[in-house]
A and B are shown apart, each in its own frame.
Chain A
Amino acid sequence: MPTPRHHLNRERRRQARADQSAPGPEGPVGLLTEPAPATRRRTAAKPVREDREQKEEGKAKEKEAAARARHRTPLLLVLCALTLLLGGFAGWAHGRAGELRDDPARANTALTDPARTSEIKGRTAEAVAALFSYDHTDAAAFDRAAKTFLTGKAVEQHRTLFAGVLAQAAEQKSVITTTVTDSAVERIDGDRARVLVYADQSSVSTAGTARKKDRDQGAYAGAMLAVDIVLRDGSWLVEGIDTFGR
């Protein structure tokens, strides 16, 4: 019997047309996804199944994506927070380390650098002995010492200190000998240092018989001074002489 089938087809076509003009909730097609009129017009059952599959697939994907998004958002936040935290700590630790390194106690390497400390003490003793000794028989040695060990304002300080002494020493044919008895490094700051020096100074005059007694006895004096030294071209030079206002 063709009629029911024909009727059915007509009905379907009408339904499809009605769907197209006004997609309503009444038809099962309208409820489902993707208006694919061509497909739908041919068969109703197939698109329904496809749509269902698609819907289910979509829902699954949506769920998955949502789950992933839910998972991802905190992860991103955690990473950001972690970055800030670590960055903050890095900045703070850097500051603290710098502060500690810049501590004046640490900047001063006197004693903490034993090799340099003893090198400085030795060099200072040598310089002070040469600079504060005078032998009338070898006056040139005195100038040589000044040239060898002095730099900067110490040249002038040394000259001032010895201005009166030299004339007298030459006249009295004196021999002044200075020996460092104790020294301690107050401070080493890179290529600069300050050394506290205790020295013994003996002065012997060899002029004339009138001063025989002086010559025999000699005169001793204890001196104390602080010496600023600086490293220039691999050797330490005296840059300042502090006699503490004496």
Chain B
Amino acid sequence: MSGRREHPMTRAVRPRAGARPVLAAALGLTLVAGGFAAWTGQAWYAAAHDDSAAYAAERDRALAAGEQAVQNLNTLDHRQTDRGLDLWESSTTGELHRQLVDGREEFEGQVKAAKTVTTARVLAGAVTELDDRAGRARLLVALRVTVTTPDRKSTDKDSRMLGELTRTDGQWKLSGLGQAPVGGTATG
């Protein structure tokens, strides 16, 4: 009886002495965890909203689209000119696109007459300029073009392509393509 009576008293005293440090420790841990959360959260936010990262991602998108477009424009099978030329048109925009559409029939006739199959492989490519906001870029694409004639002879030719990209509706497309000129500059 007396033991039971004593109990509430000790219970009232003991937690006061015992729970304070536990509570303090728990609070300390919570604060430390909060500190870590704030720190890592900030690092995550910074990483997710890094301008240069977004720029790098855009650079890689432009390069991938540009390389694919350059390869597309150097690929044509005389047996499937419609499909090939449709791909040319869907890979381009602006002035280049207009030129391709205008010259399509004439070019199709030439390829069908020559009966050539042209394939291309990208050896290397890199972006030289990128205007993220304006949606314009320039790139270099080193290309190996293989032309197979009707007599099954194939010839390889390396092309040093200079491409100009324009972003339309969120997609990078070729708006200009040419070969790097040879000679003339190296006269000395």
- Asked if chains A and B come from one complex, the reply is yes
**A202→B183 contact, CB < 8 A:** yes
Interface residues of B in 127-185 (CB under 8 A from A): 127-128, 130, 139-140, 142, 144, 158, 160, 162, 180-185
Q: Is B33 an interface residue (CB 8 A)?
A: yes
Nearest Cβ distance between residue A51 and chain B, in whole angstroms? 11
A182 in contact with B128 (CB, 8 Å): yes
List of A residues within 8 angstroms of B124 by Cβ: 186, 196, 226, 242, 244
Is B40 among interface residues, defined by CB-CB distance under 8 A?
A: yes
Nearest CB in chain A to that of B41: its residue: A93
Q: List the A side residues contacting B126 at CB < 8 Å.
A: 110, 184-187, 195-196
Residue B50, interface by CB 8 Å: yes
B109 within 8 A of A: no
From the candidates A58, A72, A106, A183, name the one contacting B50 in the complex (CB within 8 A).
A106
Alpha-carbon distance A85/B36, docked complex (angstroms): 11
Give Cα A244 to B77, complex, Å.
Answer: 25
Q: In the complex, how many residue pairs between chain A and chain B have their CB atoms under 8 Å apart?
A: 188
Partner of B183, one of A62, A111, A220: A220
CB contacts (< 8 Å) of A96 on chain B: these are: 44, 47-48
Query: Are A177 and B43 in contact, CB atoms less than 8 angstroms apart?
Result: no
B98 CB to closest chain A CB (Å) equals 26
B114 at the interface (CB under 8 A from A): no
Nearest B residue to A200, CB-CB: B186
- Chain A residue with Cβ nearest B51: A112
A106 lies within 8 A of B142 (CB): no
Give chain A's interface secondary structure class.
mixed
A33 engages B5 (CB within 8 Å): yes
In contact, B47 and A101 (Cβ under 8 angstroms): yes
CB distance from A123 to the nearest CB of B (A): 16
B: residues with CB less than 8 A from A are: 2, 5, 8-9, 11-12, 15-16, 19, 22-23, 26-27, 29-30, 33-34, 36-37, 39-41, 43-44, 46-48, 50, 52-53, 55-57, 59-60, 123-128, 130, 139-140, 142, 144, 158, 160, 162, 180-188
